[in-house]
C-alpha cells in the first residue's frame, strides 16, 4: 500500500489476526495519532490564549466569574497536555515496535480498543485489573 492511501477501519478490522501490527496497521495508527496530536495541540494553543487574555474591566461578580472560567480552562489545558504526552508516547511505541501490545502482559491490546483509544497501553483485562486494584486501595485508604 503506498503512502497516499490509508486503510479504512473496515479494511483494518478485516485483516487476519496473524497480521496484527503489520506495517499497514502501524502506518494507519501513526497517521491517526499524528492527526489527533495536531488537533489536541491546536486546541491546547487556543486554551492557552484564552487563559492569558487579560480580563476586561468589570464588577466583582464579573471578576469572580472570569476567575472560575480561567480555573476551568487551566484544568482543561492540563488534561490536554497529559493527552498530548500520551500521544507522543504512543508514537514512540510505534517507532520501537511496541505499539499495540499490553505494557504489562505483552499480549495484543486489540484493534477495536486501539481504534477507540489509540493511546492505550494496556489490554482491557490489564486495565480492569488496574482499576480494581486502585478501587481496592482507595477503599482501604478511606477506611483507615
* Structure confidence at residue 3 (pLDDT): 47
Q: Are 109 and 89 in contact (CB under 8 A)?
A: no
Q: pLDDT per residue over 65-104, tens digit each?
A: 888 888 999 999 999 999 999 999 999 999 999 999 999 9
pLDDT grade for 64, boundaries at 50, 70 and 90: confident
pLDDT grade for 109, boundaries at 50, 70 and 90: very high
Beta bridge partner(s), residue 101: 108
DSSP-assigned states of every residue in 87-129: HHHHHHHHHTT-TTB-TTT--B--HHHHHH-TT--S-HHHHHH
* Structure confidence at residue 38 (pLDDT): 97
User: Which set of grid coordinates corresponds to residue 75?
Assistant: 484544568
User: Which set of grid coordinates corresponds to residue 72?
Assistant: 476551568
Q: Are 115 and 101 in contact (CB under 8 A)?
A: no
Q: pLDDT per residue over 20-34, tens digit each?
A: 999 999 999 999 999
User: Which set of grid coordinates corresponds to residue 11?
Assistant: 479494511
pLDDT grade for 63, boundaries at 50, 70 and 90: confident
Nearest Cα to 5, choosing from 21, 34, 28? 28
* Structure confidence at residue 135 (pLDDT): 79
Q: Which residues contact 76 (CB under 8 A, 6 or more apart)?
A: 47
Cα–Cα distance, 93 to 33 (Å, whole number): 12
Percent of the chain with pLDDT strictly greater than 70: 91
The domains found in the chain, sorted by start residue, are 9-143 (1.20.120.910)
Amino acid at each position: 500500500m503506498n503512502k497516499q492511501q490509508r486503510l479504512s477501519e473496515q479494511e483494518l478490522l478485516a485483516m487476519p489476526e496473524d497480521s496484527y501490527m503489520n506495517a499497514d496497521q502501524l502506518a494507519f495508527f501513526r497517521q491517526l495519532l499524528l492527526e489527533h496530536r495536531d488537533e489536541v495541540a491546536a486546541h491546547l494553543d487556543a486554551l492557552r490564549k484564552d487563559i492569558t487574555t487579560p480580563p476586561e474591566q468589570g464588577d466583582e461578580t464579573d471578576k469572580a466569574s472570569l476567575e472560575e472560567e480561567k480555573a476551568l480552562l487551566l484544568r482543561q489545558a492540563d488534561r490536554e497536555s497529559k493527552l498530548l504526552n500520551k500521544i507522543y508516547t504512543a508514537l514512540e511505541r510505534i517507532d520501537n515496535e511496541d505499539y499495540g501490545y499490553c505494557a504489562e502482559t505483552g499480549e495484543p491490546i486489540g484493534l477495536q480498543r486501539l481504534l477507540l483509544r489509540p493511546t492505550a497501553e494496556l489490554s482491557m483485562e490489564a486495565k480492569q485489573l488496574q482499576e480494581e486494584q486502585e478501587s481496592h486501595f482507595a477503599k482501604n485508604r478511606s477506611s483507615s
